[in-house]
Amino acid sequence: MQEAGKIVSGMDAVSDELNRNKLKMIILAKDASEKTGKNIKFLAEKKKVPIIEIGTILENSKAIGKENRAIIGIKDKNIAEGMKKIICGGEAFGEN
């Protein structure tokens, strides 16, 4: 997915894409630093992008084939909606 440009990872890349209004969802590792979590939550709230806290840095990094990634940004709406349904067992974004 990263090669296809559907996700980005790491604080700098996720922040850049947030500022460009390109992200549909952010995944934050449960063991991310307090500072990282605080910073990304502030930016995401400002841009109204949902954050899901799940997995560890190791688990999430392995899932995308990268190392040491506490933050993953999802750019594709369909992927974000599908992940939310799986993770939260609920409706996709905007379906209430």
User: What CATH class has 7-88?
Assistant: alpha beta
The percent of residues in the chain predicted with pLDDT above 70, rounded, is 89
Answer whether 92's CB lies under 8 Å from 81's CB: yes
Read off the pLDDT band of 39 (50, 70, 90): very high
Q: Where are the domains of the chain?
A: 7-88
Give the integer Cα–Cα distance in Å for 43 and 51: 11
Q: Which of 9-18, 44-53, 79-88 has the lowest mean pLDDT?
A: 79-88
In this structure, what token pair is assigned to residue 91?
A: 């409706």
Read off the pLDDT band of 18 (50, 70, 90): very high
Give one DSSP letter per residue of 37-65, joined into a string.
HHHHHHHHHHHT--EEE-S-HHHHHHHHT
